[in-house]
Chains A and B, each alone.
Chain A
Amino acid sequence: MTEGLKLSRRRLLELTAMSGAMVLAPRLAWAGEPQRGGHLVISSGGAAAGDSLDPRTFNSPYGAAMSGIIYNNLIAVQGPNKELVPELAHSWEAINGGLSWVFNLVEGVEFHNGKILTSEDVVFSLRRHAEPDSRSSMRSVISNLVDIRADGDHRVIIDLPAVNYLFPAYMAHFTLGIVPAGTTDFTGIGTGGYKVTNFAPGEVLEMVRHENYFKPNAAFVDSVELLAINDPSALTAAFQSGQVNMTSGLDARSAGLLESMANLRIFKMEGGGYISFNMRCDIPPFDNPDMRLALKLAVDREDMLQRVGAGVGSIGNDTPVPSNDAVFSPNVEQKRYDPERARALFESVGYTGPIVLHTSDAISSRAVDMATVFQEHAARAGIPIEVQRDPADGYWNSVVGVAPFHVSARSARPTADAIFSTAFLGTSENNECKWVNEEFDAAIIAARAEENLERRLALYERAQEICSVDGGTMIPFFSATVQGTSADVDGFNVGAVELNGYRAVEQVWFT
Chain B
Amino acid sequence: MTLMQGSAVRSFVVARIASGLVSILFISFLVFLGTALLPGDAATAMLGQEATPELVESLRQALGLDQPLLIRYLNWLWDALHGDFGVSLSNGQPAMAMLLPRLENSLILAFSAAVIVLPLAISIGLVAAIKKGRPFDTMSGLVSALFLSMPSFMIGYVLIYVFAVEFRLFPAVSSVRASTSLTGWAWALTLPVLTLVLVAQSHVLKVTRAAVLGVMGSDYILMAETKGIPRIRIILLHALPNALSSIVSICMITMAHLIVDVVVIEAVFSYPGMGKLMVDAVAYRDIPVVQACGVLFSAIFVVLNMLADLLGVLVNPRQRLPRRGV
A residues with CB within 8 A of B = 43, 47-52, 57, 59, 135, 137, 139-140, 198, 200-204, 206, 227-231, 233-234, 237-238, 240-244, 391, 393-394, 396-398, 400, 429-430
Asked if A397 contacts B40 (CB within 8 A), the reply is: yes
**A237 pairs with B160, CB closer than 8 A:** yes
| A198–B177 touching, CB < 8 Å | yes
Q: Which residues of B contact A57 (CB under 8 A)?
A: 91
Select from chain B the residue with minimum beta-carbon distance to A202. Answer: B280
Find B39's partner among A201, A237, A391 (CB 8 Å cutoff): A391
Closest partner residue, chain A, to B101 (CB atom): A200
Name the CB-closest residue of B to A50. Answer: B90
Interface residue stretch chosen among B22-30, B42-50, B249-257: B42-50
Specify which of A238, A242, A393 is in contact with B38 (CB 8 Å cutoff).
A393
| Residue pair B91, A234 in contact (C-beta under 8 Å) | no
Taking A50-B93, A396-B45 as contacts, is the C-beta distance between A237 and B38 under 8 angstroms? Answer: no
B281 touches A (CB below 8 Å):
yes
Of the stretches B164-172, B194-202, B295-303, the one at the interface is B164-172
Residues in B152-173 with C-beta less than 8 Å from chain A: 157, 160-161, 164-165, 168, 171-173
- The docked-state distance in angstroms from the alpha carbon of A243 to that of B270 is 13
- Shortest CB-to-CB span from A128 to chain B, Å, is 16
- Bound-state CA distance A349–B157 (Å) is 51
Q: Are A398 and B47 in contact (CB under 8 A)?
A: no
Q: Is the CB of A51 within 8 A of B91?
A: yes
Residue on A nearest B282 in the bound complex, by CB: A393
- Are the C-beta atoms of A240 and B165 separated by less than 8 Å? yes
A229-B270, A231-B268, A393-B38 known; A237 vs B161 contact (CB < 8 Å): yes
Known: A204-B175, A227-B173. A49 touches B45 (CB 8 A): no
Please determine whether B51 and A397 come into contact, CB atoms closer than 8 angstroms. yes
Contact A50 B89 (CB under 8 A): yes
Contact B93 A243 (CB under 8 A): no
Within the complex, the shortest CB–CB distance from A50 to chain B, in Å, comes to 3
Alpha-carbon gap, A4 to B19, bound state (A): 76
Cβ A242 vs Cβ B168 within 8 A = yes
Query: Known interface pairs A50-B89, A202-B272, A397-B44. Does A137 touch B172 (Cβ–Cβ under 8 Å)?
Result: no
Taking the complex as formed, is B52 at the interface, i.e. its CB lies under 8 A from any CB of chain A?
yes
Q: Chain A contacts of B164 at CB under 8 A?
A: 237-238, 241, 243
Contacts of B49 in A (CB 8 A): 396, 400, 430
Alpha-carbon distance A137/B47, docked complex (angstroms): 9
A48 contacts which of B38, B102, B286 (Cβ < 8 Å)? B286
Query: Could you count the A-B residue pairs with CB atoms below 8 Å apart for me: how many are there?
Result: 124
- In whole Å, how far is B268's beta carbon from the nearest beta carbon of chain A? 6
CB-based contact A238/B91 at 8 Å: no
Nearest CB in chain A: distance from B58 CB, A: 8
B165 touches A227 (CB 8 A): no
CB pair A49 B172 closer than 8 Å = no
Count chain B CB atoms within 10 A of each CB in A47, A57, A203, A228 and give the residue with the most. Answer: A203
Report the Cα distance A240→B165, complex, angstroms. 6
The answer to whether A49 touches B277 (Cβ under 8 A) is yes
A202 touches B171 (CB 8 A): no
Q: Is B39 touching A48 in the complex (CB atoms < 8 A)?
A: no
Q: Could you tell me the distance between the alpha carbons of A233 and B153 in the complex, rounded to whole angstroms?
A: 11
Considering the chains assembled together, what is the distance between the CA atoms of A382 and B216 in angstroms? 72
Provide 16 A-B residue pairs closer than 8 Å at the C-beta atoms, listed in order of the A residue: A48-B90, A49-B98, A49-B102, A203-B175, A227-B270, A231-B270, A233-B268, A237-B157, A237-B160, A238-B172, A241-B160, A241-B165, A241-B168, A242-B168, A397-B40, A429-B52
Q: Is the CB of B88 within 8 A of A50?
A: yes
User: Which residues of B are found within 8 Å of A206, using beta-carbon distances?
Assistant: 177
Chain A min CB distance to B57 (Å): 13
Once bound together, how far apart are the Cα atoms of A206 and B180, in whole Å?
A: 13
Indicate whether A394 sits within 8 Å of B165 (C-beta atoms), given known contacts A200-B177, A202-B272: no
Whether A241 contacts B90 by the Cβ 8 Å rule is no
User: In the assembly, what is the distance between CA of A59 and CA of B160, in Å?
Assistant: 30
Q: Is B269 an interface residue (CB 8 A)?
A: yes
The CA of A47 and the CA of B45, in the complex, are separated in Å by 16
Q: Are B39 and A398 in contact (CB under 8 A)?
A: yes
The answer for the CA separation of A240 and B51 in the assembled complex, in Å, is 38
- Contact (Cβ within 8 A) B91 A52: yes
Known contacts A231-B268, A234-B270; A430/B177 CB under 8 A? no
A200 touching B47 by the CB < 8 A rule? no
Please measure, in the bound complex, the distance between the C-alpha atom of A398 and the C-alpha atom of B268, giving whole angstroms. Answer: 29
Q: Is B218 positioned at the interface, with any CB of A under 8 Å from its CB?
A: no
B267 is an interface residue with CB less than 8 A from chain A: yes
Cα–Cα distance between A406 and B211 once the two chains are bound (Å): 57
Contact with A along B85-106 (1 / 0, CB 8 A): 0001111010000100010000
**Least Cβ–Cβ distance between B146 and chain A, in angstroms:** 22
Collect the chain A residues with CB atoms within 8 Å of residue B183's CB. none
By a CB distance below 8 angstroms, the chain A residues around B157 are 233, 237
Q: How far is the CA of A231 from the CA of B264 in the complex (A)?
A: 11
- The verdict on B284 contacting chain A, using a C-beta distance below 8 Å, is yes
Nearest 5 pairs of A and B residues by beta carbon: A50-B90, A394-B39, A394-B40, A237-B172, A397-B44
Which A-chain residue is minimally distant from B43 (CB atoms)? A397
Interface residues of B in 104-122 (CB under 8 A from A): none
- Most chain A CB neighbours (cut-off 10 Å) among B44, B52, B90, B268: B90
Query: Which residues of chain B come closer than 8 Å to A59, judged between CB atoms?
Result: 50
Q: A57-B91, A198-B179 are in contact. List 4 more A-B contacts (CB 8 A).
A: A48-B284, A50-B281, A52-B91, A238-B270
A140 to B160, CA, bound (A): 45
Interchain CA distance A394-B35 in the complex, whole Å: 12
Chain B nearest CB: distance from A199 CB in Å?
Answer: 10
